[in-house]
Amino acid sequence: MLGSTLQTTLDTVLARNPGEPEFHQAVHEVFDSLAVVQERHPEYNDMAILTRLCEPERQIIFRVSWVDDEGNVQVNRGFRVQFNSALGPYKGGLRFRESVNLGIVKFLGFEQIFKNSLTGLPIGGGKGGSDFDPAGKSDGEVMRFCQSFMTELHRHIGEHTDVPAGDIGVGAREIGYLFGQYKRLTNRYEAGVLTGKGLDWGGSLVRKEATGYGATIFAQEMLAARGESLDGRTAIVSGSGNVALYAIEKVHQLGGTAITASDSSGYVVDEDGIDLGLLKQIKEVERGRISEYVDRRGGRAHYVAGGSVWEVPGDVAIPSATQNELHENDAIALVKNGVRAVSEGANMPCTPKAVDIFQDAGIAFGPGKAANAGGVATSALEMQQNASRDAWSFAYTEERLTDIMRGIHQNALETAEEFGRPGNYVIGANVAGFRKVADAMMAFGVI
């Protein structure tokens, strides 16, 4: 139950941001956790910290005009929401997908504030993207779009101001085109302005693996806190993009067996364990459909068109596709089938009702702002390497990532205990992330 001040602030935020359900959902989730902070820290209310935290420092919307392969002029909309820079330059990905709008970008940027805070690294929160979908576009079309997008965006970013990265629809190809145009426009080789770059021109080892690895490490830490392990466990993973691929890889490295993967057409179940090499060939190289996996794998693998991957029994669930993919009925099915832990690889993939079901059932639940922070943490490590003109080994970078994820888990676990909600990683992560940002905002005065 929210206190009167918190409820009034929440009502004001929702009224000022109509028609943005994803942003509303993210704000609700944080406010529900902060009721436990309100009594101990009245100074946050006095300085209107929450009101200021929910209002982005800057919202940029711009037109992106480009020419397709047939010579037709296409027009998309670009976004960059620079949400909070109390801890460092804005940091957060760019998402290229037809569904992108201001509300989704704000939801992602708001989540990024707390996620970045939890890493312990000096980075603020931001997010951006466009309603452009690279799927089915030629390399030339993607290049021309990215160049037009960066022509506007470049004036708003910089290694000490705002450092975008990739997200859904923005991989190494898109980052390359974006960085090339930034370099062309500014006449500067400012490697730290974008992360997720190619290894030959300022990128970091472990970056593409980081989000999936991190979510799996977080699942392992939650199990370890209960005296359990991923070793010998079965994992249900959704998606087949970067996060899912490397969550599957880390599950296998830790002794578990990931038996599912999915895309928008359906999902595959492979009781012998997903053949990661084959899945990477289909998805990373050929950009094919998940259904092709079964024809080429054989054995006990089978494909289900449509449906819900969460109907498949497993010990650990790692939702790694997109927001609100795991609903109330999915959570009920997972609990019924004996799931032990859920670690969010995607951003807010579980609906609020699904989260309630997991927590009521005593399932270890790792919220995205904690569980999937590995991607942005390794982006910050890439920034460190760029600043020092250095390149770290895979083993050293993975060690740093693992330490960061363990630190996030411990911080969330201890904060939940401190505020009387032991084992509640949602409250632990929200409160721990919030306090660090709030204290910095208090130190800076009213700005």
Residues 6+ apart with CB under 8 A from 106: 17, 20, 22, 23, 56, 59, 81, 83, 127
| Catalytic residue flag (residue 183) | no
The answer to whether 240 and 264 have CB atoms below 8 angstroms apart is no
Helix (H) or strand (E) holding 15: helix 4-16
130: β partners: 78, 96
Cα–Cα distance for residue pair 6/327, rounded to 1 Å: 27
Question: Which tokens belong to 306?
Answer: 């449509």
- Name the burial class of residue 298, with classes exposed (0-12), middle (13-18) and buried (19+) by CB atoms within 10 angstroms of its CB: exposed
Which residue shows structure tokens 């302005």?
193
91 annotated as a binding-site residue: yes
Amino acid at the residue 412:
A
Under DSSP, the state recorded for 234 is: E
Cα–Cα distance for residue pair 442/160, rounded to 1 Å: 21
Cα 414 off chain centre by: 23
Cα–Cα distance for residue pair 260/272, rounded to 1 Å: 10
Which residue shows structure tokens 């359906």?
266
SS3 246: helix
Cα–Cα distance for residue pair 263/283, rounded to 1 Å: 10
283 annotated as a binding-site residue: no
The answer to whether 113 and 80 have CB atoms below 8 angstroms apart is no
Cα–Cα distance for residue pair 218/372, rounded to 1 Å: 8
Under DSSP, the state recorded for 350 is: B
166 annotated as a binding-site residue: yes
375 annotated as a binding-site residue: no
Catalytic residue among 106, 127, 369, 436: 127
Question: How many other C-beta atoms are found inside a 10 Å radius of the C-beta of residue 112?
Answer: 26
336 annotated as a binding-site residue: no
SS3 427: helix
The answer to whether 108 and 79 have CB atoms below 8 angstroms apart is no
SS3 260: strand
Instruction: Provide the annotated active-site residues.
Output: 127
Known binding-site residue numbers for NAD(+):
211, 242
Known binding-site residue numbers:
91, 112, 115, 166, 211, 242, 379
Known binding-site residue numbers for substrate:
91, 112, 115, 166, 379
